[in-house]
Homo-oligomer: A and B are copies of this chain.
Amino acid sequence: MAFEYLTNTPLEKAREDYIKLLLEKGFAPRTETIPVCQACGRITAKPVYAHICAPHYAASAMDGVAVRARDTFGATETTPVKLKPEQFIELDTGDPIPQGRDAVIMVEDIVREPDASISIHAPAAPWQHIRQIGEDICAGEMILGERMELSPAAIGAMLAGGVLELEVIKKPLVGIIPTGDEMIPPCADPKSGDILEFNSSIFSAMLDKWGAESRVYPIVPDRFQDIRRALAKAGEECDMVILNAGSSAGREDYSAAVIAELGQVLYHGVAIKPGKPAILGCLGAKPVLGVPGYPVSGIIVIEQLLRPLIDCWFHRSPAQKKTVSATLTRPVVSSLKYQEFVRVRMGYVGDRLMASPLSRGSGVVSSFMKADGILTVPQGSEGYEAGEQVEVELLSREERLKNTLMVIGSHDPLLDELANMMHLEDPRFYMSSSHVGSMGGIMAIRRGEAHAAGCHLLDTDTGEYNLSFIRKYFPKGGVRLLRCVGRLQGLMLQKGNPLNILEFKDIAGDGVRYVNRQKGSGTRILADYLCKKEGIDPAKVYGYEREELTHTSVAAQIACGSADAGMGIYSAAKLYGLDFLPVCTEEYDLLIPDHAWDSPMLRQLVATLKSAAFREKIESMGGYTLDRPGEIIDLEY
């Protein structure tokens, strides 16, 4: 097969060559004529000239009388001029100036005489108090040039100029063909092995934002002839086509071969990550983009390779990317071979803008949802170190980043609820939480990367939570500990407890598959402590090295049957309907650096923690005790 081996073409070159090829083949927009009143945001296809003047008649700018200015010449305070009824015409503001009159005298400036004539005491200058024809727009004037976007005011100007319809660039219609034998439309109860086809919905939404229309075709199975038929049809009906998945070079990847047979493949393989197996092809002058199946790869490929074509169609210069300089909180290691796009969460801690890399998995679409920016690691670079200043393309408004509470540390579902309530209380505020475990949170606070860290660290010597760790890692103080909740920790177990696990040490039992939390998390420290206390060798616990990052994901593994037991909080077990073996109640608090304390955001956090709504919500989740949340704990230095 001709396209078995992918090329590794640099992105810039691939993009430039692609646009060049398409333009050579005659890639050009279609146009349509639409009513002006529906044209806001559309792009003109031709210059628009006024048909009539606006205003289209000379109108009185005052309530008064219309006169011939000549008739008033010579009037003074002492020698008024008298105008006979046939010499003046009464009129209101906005009334047309009658034929033969060329000035308006304000009603305040006339003296009515008993014989129905009027006296005036000053001459009227020709055209005084008259709103002239064309004051706003003159007939024949260009209202708006070609390839310009219509604003609401432009709509007004056109209608005022007698232009009722205009020719605009038609929105390009982009056909989206999802392919894949395992693909099914999104649903809430997929069978194992089914893959939900939601990429087309993401792509449609992106296209809509860029001013394009989309048509999503039915899912096509992985068969050459079926894909060929679907592409031929979409190529007929649409201006551009996205062939989603099958773009790689595996056994069942037919995209490149189908495009080559019906049209032309310019490049198969671009030096980007994610998104390498992209196909840049065309049917005549119509672009056909082969897009990898993983959603994050697809988003990147469409952003980097289809969006420029849409800009080109509308003849607009690409949207200027807003970039900012930020401090990277964790290292980013990247391959020299590719230009890599890394999603980052961002927020200001003090004056420093921090950027934390999100999951780099191509399948993790939620990482794009959470991303505030994109860090591009150029081809030929091995990446960046933690603490390095990097340039990041902003996706969120800077205002939002300034009002985002950065919470880094231990996971608890209550953080999402807290974030939600804070934003509801004051729409300016957002919260971004990263789950790196309690120790990770303490380190983040030490490095000045967060406003708050959730932690629940048991001092196994004293049985005390958090205090000794804080005194150890912040020997000079500089932090406060905010009381949050008490929560029930224990073993989450399969519903009905089929393996009859009755105490912690049963996790080492034969046939028990354990699932653990990552090192550095408070829950892992607790599990390690319990093992030690019970004399269990962790190496003998099957799955002890299997690490998940949240209570919820531990619960999810047990619920789906891939594990039998895992340490976690009651609310997560309840969420998944699991059995639960309580082990202890622990303190989960929020560590706050002093420098972040005195801010409206923190005041809102404290107020929310103390609110009745928070108490009600948290109590409904189960397994929590609330003892004066929002109060400051004495650190006993």
Interface residues of A (CB under 8 A from B): 36-37, 40-41, 47, 51-59, 70, 94-97, 99, 102, 125-127, 131-148, 151-157, 159-160, 162-164, 182, 186-190, 192-196, 198-199, 201-206, 208-209, 295, 299, 315-317, 320, 361, 363-366, 368-369, 371, 397, 399, 413, 416-417, 419-420, 423-424, 427-428, 513, 542-543, 545-546, 548, 550, 552-553, 555-557, 559-562, 572, 575-576
Docked Cα-Cα span, A56 to B157, in Å, equals 54
In terms of DSSP, what is the predominant structure of the interface of chain A? loop
Tell whether, in the assembled complex, residue A141 and residue B552 are in contact, meaning their CB atoms are under 8 Å apart.
Answer: yes
Which B residues touch A369, using CB under 8 A? 143-144, 151, 153-154, 156-157
Tell whether, in the assembled complex, residue A575 and residue B192 are in contact, meaning their CB atoms are under 8 Å apart.
Answer: no
Docked Cα-Cα span, A599 to B269, in Å, equals 38
Tell whether, in the assembled complex, residue A58 and residue B427 are in contact, meaning their CB atoms are under 8 Å apart.
Answer: no
Choose one: B147, B162, B188, B204; the contact of A423 (CB below 8 Å). Answer: B147
| Contact A201-B36, Cβ < 8 Å, known A133-B562, A560-B57 | yes
| Contact A156-B295, Cβ < 8 Å, known A209-B40, A363-B136, A560-B58 | yes
- Of the candidates A548, A550, A560, the one having the most CB atoms from chain B within 10 angstroms of its own CB is A560
User: In the complex, what's the smallest C-beta–C-beta distance from A171 to chain B, in angstroms?
Assistant: 15
Choose one: B95, B193, B320, B576; the contact of A140 (CB below 8 Å). Answer: B576
Q: Give A314's nearest chain B residue, CB to CB.
A: B427
Which B residues touch A562, using CB under 8 A? 58, 97, 102, 127, 132-133
Tell whether, in the assembled complex, residue B361 and residue A156 are in contact, meaning their CB atoms are under 8 Å apart.
Answer: no
Which B residues touch A133, using CB under 8 A? 553, 556-557, 560, 562
Docked Cα-Cα span, A281 to B147, in Å, equals 41
Docked Cα-Cα span, A464 to B399, in Å, equals 57
Q: Give A548's nearest chain B residue, CB to CB.
A: B132
Tell whether, in the assembled complex, residue B546 and residue A420 are in contact, meaning their CB atoms are under 8 Å apart.
Answer: no
User: In the complex, what's the smallest C-beta–C-beta distance from A291 to chain B, in angstroms?
Assistant: 14
Tell whether, in the assembled complex, residue A142 and residue B190 are in contact, meaning their CB atoms are under 8 Å apart.
Answer: no
Tell whether, in the assembled complex, residue A192 and residue B57 are in contact, meaning their CB atoms are under 8 Å apart.
Answer: yes
Q: Give A368's nearest chain B residue, CB to CB.
A: B153
Tell whether, in the assembled complex, residue A413 and residue B159 are in contact, meaning their CB atoms are under 8 Å apart.
Answer: no
| Contact A52-B127, Cβ < 8 Å, known A146-B424, A423-B147 | no
User: In the complex, what's the smallest C-beta–C-beta distance from A633 to chain B, in angstroms?
Assistant: 27
Tell whether, in the assembled complex, residue B397 and residue A94 are in contact, meaning their CB atoms are under 8 Å apart.
Answer: no
Q: Give A320's nearest chain B residue, CB to CB.
A: B399
Docked Cα-Cα span, A524 to B436, in Å, equals 75
Which B residues touch A157, using CB under 8 A? 365-366, 369
Docked Cα-Cα span, A559 to B205, in Å, equals 50
Which B residues touch A162, using CB under 8 A? 186-190, 196
| Contact A152-B363, Cβ < 8 Å, known A164-B186, A186-B164, A320-B397 | no
Docked Cα-Cα span, A153 to B294, in Å, equals 13
Tell whether, in the assembled complex, residue B153 and residue A365 are in contact, meaning their CB atoms are under 8 Å apart.
Answer: yes
Docked Cα-Cα span, A576 to B49, in Å, equals 13
Q: Give A36's nearest chain B residue, CB to CB.
A: B201
Choose one: B37, B126, B552; the contact of A542 (CB below 8 Å). Answer: B126
Which B residues touch A182, using CB under 8 A? 94
Tell whether, in the assembled complex, residue A317 and residue B427 are in contact, meaning their CB atoms are under 8 Å apart.
Answer: yes
| Contact A40-B198, Cβ < 8 Å, known A299-B152, A417-B142, A545-B126 | no
Docked Cα-Cα span, A416 to B140, in Å, equals 11
Tell whether, in the assembled complex, residue A136 and residue B364 are in contact, meaning their CB atoms are under 8 Å apart.
Answer: yes
- Of the candidates A417, A543, A557, the one having the most CB atoms from chain B within 10 angstroms of its own CB is A557
Which B residues touch A145, using CB under 8 A? 416, 419-420, 423-424
| Contact A420-B135, Cβ < 8 Å, known A198-B160, A201-B159 | no
* A-B CB contact pairs (8 Å), 9 listed: A56-B190, A57-B190, A57-B193, A127-B562, A134-B553, A136-B364, A156-B368, A159-B198, A160-B186
Known contacts A102-B562, A153-B365; 6 additional CB pairs below 8 A are: A126-B542, A138-B556, A146-B424, A148-B423, A153-B366, A157-B366
Q: Give A427's nearest chain B residue, CB to CB.
A: B317
Choose one: B55, B153, B399; the contact of A299 (CB below 8 Å). Answer: B153
Which B residues touch A427, using CB under 8 A? 147, 315-317
Which B residues touch A96, using CB under 8 A? 192-193
Q: Give A361's nearest chain B residue, CB to CB.
A: B135
User: In the complex, what's the smallest C-beta–C-beta distance from A597 to chain B, in angstroms?
Assistant: 23
Which B residues touch A193, using CB under 8 A? 57, 59, 95-96
Tell whether, in the assembled complex, residue A156 and residue B201 are in contact, meaning their CB atoms are under 8 Å apart.
Answer: yes
